């Protein structure tokens, strides 16, 4: 009996020790596995952090280039470019914003340089204790432009389904060495072409041939002359009505001031604008072999259109001094009537054509404005059709007509090709 009891006690002790051994083995195994598991988790986190840093850096690079690109054109606002770049960067990081706090700060610096700093914080181990405050990512990108180009054409219309710049037939728009920008769509039909130093659009492009490849989705450029008042010395209806004045020969010499007369120039007649500001309250139409010319003069179209039909000729040099220095043709803000050059004999349009709520139509076989030392067009819409070739020169140096602030070589503006990332 005693031996039986001894045997039972021994077996229980053996089983107890065996259980303890198993428990100790489990604990030891756990202690051995835990560091390995932590190492695996940390390795996964390191890979994830590297990927997330790459995402942040890529977003900062893209935003810096986009911001620098939009600062390169006269009329672009540093404030708008800053906000645009920051929003653009956020769109580049995508779903990462769902698991981390992300922010980008864009800083337009000295001319041609744009910096974007990116910051991100996401949860770390043990309630953000390791590392304390969570995993932190900091990135920086600095972009700069290498070549400067002026703004010479701005199509302002941004209405959906419409266009800001359009070309039809075998027409061509040639603006070598400067920037052509559309706040809306740039639409080309048939075999129309656009060739410029840089072509940009805030909308879309369709058809035709565009050289170089256009930059699509660019920031819109604010009207550089938005704050400029276009007001005549007196209201049009307070000026004596001159009716319709038809000329078929001889020269009509106009002194600066208010003109409430519909001028119809035909035959071999000529309208000569004396230096100064000319406010037109009626349409002016040129046809047959008539001619429109002026030097140190600006046409301010308060009401009515300006039409030059083939084979009539035009040679205009804009205002050299005064409030409207740098401008050659201006339409009133309440005037939707177009300016139409339907003749190839438009050899000179030296200065800025500003049509805030109307359009410029160039429609006639042959070159237009080729003899101009420089030209700038800021219009609601620009349309080139038929086989017309609109030539925009940008030789600003030594011109008797100064370049207005906000376009051309004044205030600057630069090409977005080439850009480079410095950091």
User: Among candidates 55, 89, 83, which has minimal Cα distance to 70?
Assistant: 83
Domain locations along the chain = 2-145, 151-419
Nearest to 259 by CA among 249, 275, 270, 273: 273
Q: Could you tell me the two tokens for 77?
A: 């606002």
User: Which of 278, 383, 280 is closest to 335 using CA atoms?
Assistant: 280
Q: What is the pLDDT of residue 75?
A: 46
Neighbours of 361 (CB within 10 A): 21
Cis omega (within 30 of 0) on the bond before 212? yes
Question: What are the Cα distances from residue 393, in Å, to 16, 176, 185, 310, 343?
Answer: 100, 7, 23, 23, 19
Sign of the four-CA dihedral 48, 50, 53, 55: negative
Q: Roughly how many angstroms between the first and final C-alpha of the chain, as a whole number? A: 90
Q: What is the DSSP letter of 344?
A: S
Write down the H helix ranges in 179-338: none
Q: How far is CA 273 from CA 187, 277, 310, 355, 389, in A?
A: 36, 9, 20, 20, 26
pLDDT in tens, the chain (423 residues): 445 545 554 555 445 555 555 555 555 555 445 565 555 556 667 777 888 889 999 999 998 888 877 766 544 566 777 888 899 999 998 888 888 899 999 988 765 678 999 999 988 765 655 567 778 899 999 886 655 678 899 999 999 888 999 999 999 999 988 899 999 999 999 999 999 988 989 899 999 999 998 888 777 888 999 999 999 999 999 999 999 999 999 999 999 999 999 999 999 999 999 999 999 999 999 999 999 999 999 999 999 999 999 999 999 999 999 999 999 999 999 999 999 999 999 999 999 999 999 999 999 889 999 999 999 999 999 999 999 999 999 999 889 999 998 898 875 443 334 566 765
6's tokens: 């001894």
Q: Are strands 419-421 and 313-317 parallel, antiparallel or unpaired?
A: unpaired
Structure-block tokens of residue 229: 């008042």
Coil/strand/helix, residue 367: strand
Alpha carbon 7 to its chain centroid, in Å, reads 96
The answer to whether the CB of 186 falls within 8 A of the CB of 226 is no
Q: What φ, ψ does residue 53 adopt, rounded to 5°? A: -65, -40
List b or e across 393-419, with b for residues whose CB sees 16 or more CB atoms inside 10 angstroms: bbebeebebbbbebbbbbbbbbbbbeb
**Alpha-carbon distance 76 to 218, whole Å?**
11
pTM: 0.72
Give the residue among 277, 285, 324 at the shortest CA–CA distance from 304.
Answer: 285
Residues 6+ apart with CB under 8 A from 103: 118, 119, 120
**Is residue 311 reached through a cis peptide bond, with omega within 30 degrees of 0 on the bond before it?**
yes
Q: Is 296 in contact with 320 (CB distance < 8 Å)? A: yes
């Amino acid at each position: 009996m005693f031996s039986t009891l001894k045997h039972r006690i021994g077996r229980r002790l053996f089983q107890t020790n065996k259980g303890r051994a198993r428990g100790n083995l489990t604990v030891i195994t756990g202690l051995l596995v835990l560091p390995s598991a932590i190492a695996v988790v940390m390795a996964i986190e390191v890979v994830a952090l590297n990927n997330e840093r790459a995402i942040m850096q890529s977003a900062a690079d893209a935003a810096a280039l986009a911001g620098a690109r939009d600062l390169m054109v006269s009329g672009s606002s540093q404030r708008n470019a800053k906000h645009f770049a920051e929003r653009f960067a956020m769109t580049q990081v995508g779903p990462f914003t769902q698991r981390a706090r992300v922010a980008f700060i864009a800083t337009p610096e000295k001319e041609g340089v744009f910096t974007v700093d990116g910051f991100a914080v996401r949860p770390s181990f043990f309630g953000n204790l390791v590392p304390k405050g969570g995993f932190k990512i900091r990135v920086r990108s600095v972009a700069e432009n290498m070549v400067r180009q002026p703004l010479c054409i701005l199509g302002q219309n941004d209405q959906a389904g419409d266009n800001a710049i359009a070309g039809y037939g075998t027409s061509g728009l040639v603006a070598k060495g400067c920037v052509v920008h559309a706040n809306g769509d740039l639409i080309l039909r048939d075999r129309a072409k656009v060739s410029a130093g840089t072509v940009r659009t805030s909308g879309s492009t369709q058809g035709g041939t565009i050289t170089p490849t256009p930059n699509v989705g660019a920031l819109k450029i604010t009207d550089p002359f938005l704050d400029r008042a276009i007001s005549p010395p007196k209201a049009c209806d307070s000026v004596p009505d001159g009716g319709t004045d038809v000329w078929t020969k001889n020269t009509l010499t106009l002194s600066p001031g208010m003109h409430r007369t519909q001028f119809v120039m035909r035959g071999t007649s000529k309208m000569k604008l004396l230096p100064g500001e000319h406010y037109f309250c009626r349409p002016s139409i040129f046809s047959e072999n008539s001619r429109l010319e002026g030097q140190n003069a600006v046409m301010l179209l308060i009401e009515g259109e300006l039409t030059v039909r083939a084979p009539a000729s035009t040679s205009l040099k804009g205002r050299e001094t005064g409030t409207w220095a740098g401008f050659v043709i201006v339409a009133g803000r309440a005037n939707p009537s177009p300016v139409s050059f339907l003749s190839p004999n438009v050899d000179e349009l030296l200065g800025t054509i500003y049509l805030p709520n109307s359009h410029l139509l160039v429609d006639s076989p042959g070159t237009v404005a080729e003899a101009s030392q420089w030209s700038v067009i800021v219009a609601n819409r620009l349309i080139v059709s038929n086989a017309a070739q609109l030539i925009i020169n940008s030789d600003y140096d030594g011109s008797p007509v100064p370049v207005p602030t906000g376009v051309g070589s004044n205030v600057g503006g630069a090409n977005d090709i080439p850009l480079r990332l410095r950091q």
